[in-house]
Every structure is written in structure tokens, then in C-alpha cells.
Amino acid sequence: MTDSLTVRDNRTGQEYDVPIADGAIKAADLGKIKADEDSPGLAIYDPGFVNTASCRSSVTYIDGEKGILEYRGYPIEQLAEKSSFLEVAYLLVHGELPSQTQHEQWVHDITFHTFVHENVKTFMQGFRYDAHPMGMLMAGTGALSTFYPDARNINDHDVRYLQIIRMIAKMPTLGAWAFRHAQGKPYVYPDNELSYTENFLAMLFKMSEQKYNADERLVKALDVLFILHADHEQNCSANAVRSSQVDPYSAVAAGIGALYGPLHGGANESVLRMLRRIGTKDNIPDFINGVKNGDERLMGFGHRVYKNYDPRARIIKKAAEDVFEVTGTNPLLDIALELEKIALEDEYFVSRKLYPNVDFYSGLIYEAFQFPPEMFTVLFAIGRTPGWLAQWLELVQDKEQKIARPKQIYTGDRELTFTPASERWA
Ligand code: ACO
């Protein structure tokens, strides 16, 4: 067996041998296939990169058919149950689990970089009263690059490490302040005696009390949600982060911009809207019939990659139960559970391999925390930050990488003759 592909170009009758490595061919090899000397080489048209590998990566492994998700080789189920968000962040960024000393240093460093320059607070206060928190987070993250101009020195290992610490540390501060801003409440400074997730909850919800004490079960559930969102290999926002060798603040700001879009981070909000619209369990059969007739989609179901089940959905369902034990049940949960039960038995969904995805339950949990829907993607972004940084680190150290610059198939006019406005409008 030879690891190559033989391609016959029927335009010219010529045959080409294209080497196969790691189950892929190099798109550049196809560029050698030409209809004639002057024509451009063969290109691949792949909107949405559905079958194009853009890099080699050792951060996250997904097998969508089998419902497997692993960070650096560790199954997501084990990490969610037995690890913490900061340990997972270390794993993603460094590629291996920390020793006790490394872990202590990592947690210490992140804890003591949670404060931001006072000017950051001033400009965040300058946003309109109704500014979307994702817009504020994106702007705040991008602005950090101007506070740390040394971050541009991406080839220096120590500089890179410092920015990664700063970024993971400051995201909850920016996210919490964006939330407080919309509510007209004073911004709360970080409390470095608290854990990462406790401190985030304190900056979100603390009022006049001396010390904010979050319920341990809520802290654990939010920590698990951060772990579940920490990376998802070459998804839309990771791609935005990886597109050029810019400093990590600007790169992550690009990732936040991509995540902001409704096709990426916004589905859990749509799930809530859908459940509210259904209203009662009695309305579910009509709703399901509408979905099957193609009138609408069952939001929170289906995934581009997972065709068996989304392993994060199972973990999130359990986290939802833990949260509701503290906050009381969300009446929409009953509708969600019934909807899931019916859909999982229905031929339409079974034959199309449509299962609940991570967003089916996450919105319900966030609502139980009393987050408004605009905050859902902010929470996603905080969890995703270590993954974006791990992807960025890989990019800047990968000798094979080039600036992201896809080809296009040009469909516009050519070689027109320009007539000045004075003549066109005469
Ligand atoms: N409800 C009803 N039917 C669906 C759904 C759904 N949620 N998802 C897919 N289908 C159907 C399609 O109509 C299509 O049926 P057909 O073959 O009869 O035409 C078939 O299943 C395949 O669907 P595609 O759209 O081709 O699948 P794709 O992989 O492109 O889409 C996606 C994946 C976008 C996630 C889709 O399942 C969807 O829209 N789901 C609802 C939105 C959602 O929950 N998004 C969150 C994803 S997770 C995340 O981003 C963090």
C-alpha cells in the first residue's frame, strides 16, 4: 500500500501522485494541477472549513462519532469530576498536569494578577448604560494590549507566560464589571483571598457585606461549566485567535468577537427563548410536529461534530441538578426534560443523530444564577480563555504556520474602464 493519492485531471488527461500524511493531503500539492501553463493551480473550495485541517495541534481531541472530548489526552468527564478550572487551564497551556509546587505557583500568580489598571475601570465606566457586556469584554481585553506593550514580544517565553497569567486572571474582573455596569452597581474589586470562581461570583454579586460567601455547590457548578467550555479545538473563535501572530490580548479580543456571533456562542439564549415560548408540557407535541415539518429547529439539539452525543451535555445535566438544589427548580427544566425524552425516542431526531448539545442545559443553569441572557457568552468567554491561549501559544511556536490567508473564487467584474464622477453624473 502506498500512502498517496493518484489524481487524473480529465481536462488534460494528466495523472498526479499526491502524498498522504496523517490522513491528509497538502492543499498546496493540488495547486500543481493546472489546466494549462497559464491557469492558476487547482484550489479547494471549502466554505466553513468543513474538511480542511488548518494546523497540527496537540491541545484538544474530539471524536464526534463516539462522543469523545479530551484536553491534552484527558477525558472531559474525568477533568470535570476531579479537577478544577485553574488546574485544567494549566494543563491546556502547559500541555501536562502540574506538580504540587507548579500548581501552587500557577494559582498564586493568577490570583495576584486579578486587579486591572485603574484607567481600565475609568474607560469601562465610559460605556453607555445599556452596553452589551460582550462588547465591553471585547473592548476591555483588546485595550489591555495598550497597558502591556511588552506583550508584543511574542518570541520571549517569559513575556508570553506573564501575559497568559494576566489574561486568565483579569477576564473575570472585566466580565464581572461589564455585568455590574449594566445594572448600575459599583464595580467590586477582586478579593485575592478567594478562589478563582468564588472571587468571580463575589465581583458579580457582592453588595454591602464585608465578605461574599458563595454556596460551595454553586462555586463547583460554575467551575465545572468553565472546564466544559475551556477548549474545543479548531472552532470558529479559536480560528480567529490563531489568525495572525498578534499579542495575546488582541488575539483573544478577536476570539471574543467571533464568539459573540449567534451561530457560535449564542445558542443557549435561544434555548431559553424556545422553552419560554413552549410554555407548558402540553404544548410539546405541537412544537415537535412543527420542528419535524421544518417550521423551526429544536434549539440545543444537534452538533456539527458530535453525531453520537455531546459529552459535555451529560455533565451539564448533572451540574444543573446540583444548582437547582440550591436555587430551587427552574420551571422550564420540566419542559426541557420532557422535550429531551420525547426527542430522543422520535425517529426524526434519532435518524438524524440529533442529541442535546452543551447549550441545551447551560442557559437554564445560568438563569438560575440570575444572569441575564447577555451574560451567557461572557461566561463562555471566561471559560474559553485558557483554550484560546493554548491555541495561540501553539500558533506562535509552530514553524509550519503561516498567516491565515485563505484563497477565494473571484466572482466579480474584471478590467472595467473607470469614468470620472463628473462625466458619469453629467
Ligand atoms: N432541530 C431540528 N432539525 C435539525 C436540528 C435541530 N436542532 N439540527 C439539525 N437538524 C436537521 C436538519 O434539518 C437536517 O435535516 P435534513 O437532512 O432533513 O435536511 C439534518 O438534521 C442535518 O442538519 P444540518 O443543519 O446539516 O447539520 P449541521 O451539522 O450543519 O448543523 C447545528 C449543526 C448548526 C448545531 C444544528 O444542529 C443546529 O442548528 N442546532 C440548533 C442550534 C444549536 O443548538 N446550536 C448550538 C451548537 S453547540 C455550540 O455551538 C456550542
Residues 20-58 as b or e (16 or more Cβ within 10 Å = b): eeeeebebebbeebeeeeeeeebeeeeeeeeeeeebebe
**DSSP element (H, E) containing 181:** helix 157-183
Residue 405 domain-assigned (yes or no): no
DSSP H helix total and E strand total for the chain? 19, 6
Does residue 352 have its Cβ closer than 6 Å to ligand 1? yes
The pLDDT score that the predictor gives to residue 131 is 96
Residue entry with cell 479545538: 233
Instruction: Quick: pLDDT tens for 99-145.
Output: 999 999 999 999 999 999 999 999 999 999 999 999 999 999 999 99
Strand order in the sheet with 24-25: 4-9, 14-21, 24-25
Residue 15 domain-assigned (yes or no): no
Residue 90 domain-assigned (yes or no): yes
The pLDDT score that the predictor gives to residue 287 is 95
Residue 323 domain-assigned (yes or no): yes
In the chain, how many domains are there? Answer: 1
Instruction: Quick: pLDDT tens for 320-370.
Output: 888 999 999 888 988 999 999 999 999 999 999 999 988 888 988 999 999
Does residue 302 have its Cβ closer than 6 Å to ligand 1? yes
Nearest-CA residue for ligand 1 atom 46 is: 267
Residue 16 domain-assigned (yes or no): no
Residue 322 domain-assigned (yes or no): yes
In degrees and rounded to multiples of 5, residue 219 shows phi and psi of -60, -45
CA 304 to ligand 1: nearest atom:
29
Residue entry with cell 468571580: 200
C-alpha–C-alpha distance, residues 378 and 135, integer Å: 9
| Distance of CA 294 from the midpoint of ligand 1 (Å) | 11
Q: How is 137-170 classified by DSSP, letter by letter?
A: HHHHHHHHHHH-GGGG-TT-HHHHHHHHHHHHHH
Percent of the chain with pLDDT over 90: 82
Residue 27 domain-assigned (yes or no): no
Nearest to 281 by CA among 364, 338, 333, 329: 338
CA dist 179 → 69, 185, 221, 300 (Å) = 31, 9, 20, 25
Does residue 303 have its Cβ closer than 6 Å to ligand 1? yes
Could you tell me if 259 and 380 are in contact, meaning their C-beta atoms sit under 8 angstroms apart?
A: yes
Residues 374-403 as b or e (16 or more Cβ within 10 Å = b): bbbbbbbbbbbbbbbbbbbbbbbeeeeeee
Does residue 301 have its Cβ closer than 6 Å to ligand 1? yes
Does residue 353 have its Cβ closer than 6 Å to ligand 1? no
CA 353 to ligand 1: nearest atom:
21
C-alpha–C-alpha distance, residues 118 and 121, integer Å: 5
Nearest-CA residue for ligand 1 atom 16 is: 352
**CA contacts within 13 A on the Cβ side of 331:** 6
CA dist 400 → 76, 349, 353, 395 (Å) = 29, 41, 36, 9
Catalytic choice (229, 247, 303, 310):
303
295 counts as catalytic: no
CA 50 to chain centre: 17
303 counts as catalytic: yes
Does residue 247 have its Cβ closer than 6 Å to ligand 1? no
Beta bridge partners of 63: 68
Q: How is 306-333 classified by DSSP, letter by letter?
A: -SS--HHHHHHHHHHHHHHHHH---HHH
pLDDT band, very low/low/confident/very high, at 403 (cuts 50, 70, 90): confident
182 pLDDT higher than 80: yes
Nearest-CA residue for ligand 1 atom 41 is: 299
387 pLDDT higher than 90: yes
CATH assignment at residue 249: 1.10.580.10
| Mean local confidence (pLDDT), 389-401 | 95
Does residue 314 have its Cβ closer than 6 Å to ligand 1? no
DSSP state of 110: H
DSSP state of 48: G
| Mean local confidence (pLDDT), 370-399 | 95
Residue 178 domain-assigned (yes or no): yes
| Distance of CA 410 from the midpoint of ligand 1 (Å) | 29
Does residue 358 have its Cβ closer than 6 Å to ligand 1? yes
| Distance of CA 278 from the midpoint of ligand 1 (Å) | 19
232 counts as catalytic: no
Instruction: Quick: pLDDT tens for 208-236.
Output: 999 999 999 999 999 999 999 999 999 99
The pLDDT score that the predictor gives to residue 331 is 85
Does residue 266 have its Cβ closer than 6 Å to ligand 1? no
Domain ranges, residue 104: 77-399
Instruction: Quick: pLDDT tens for 65-74.
Output: 999 999 999 9
1 pLDDT higher than 80: no
**DSSP element (H, E) containing 63:** strand 60-63
Instruction: Quick: pLDDT tens for 264-305.
Output: 777 888 898 899 999 999 999 999 999 999 998 999 998 888
Catalytic choice (191, 264, 322, 346):
264
| Distance of CA 370 from the midpoint of ligand 1 (Å) | 28
Q: Ligand 1 pocket: which of 60, 259, 346, 354 to mutate (most atoms <8 Å of CB)? A: 354
| Mean local confidence (pLDDT), 19-28 | 94
C-alpha–C-alpha distance, residues 118 and 336, integer Å: 44
**DSSP element (H, E) containing 341:** helix 331-345
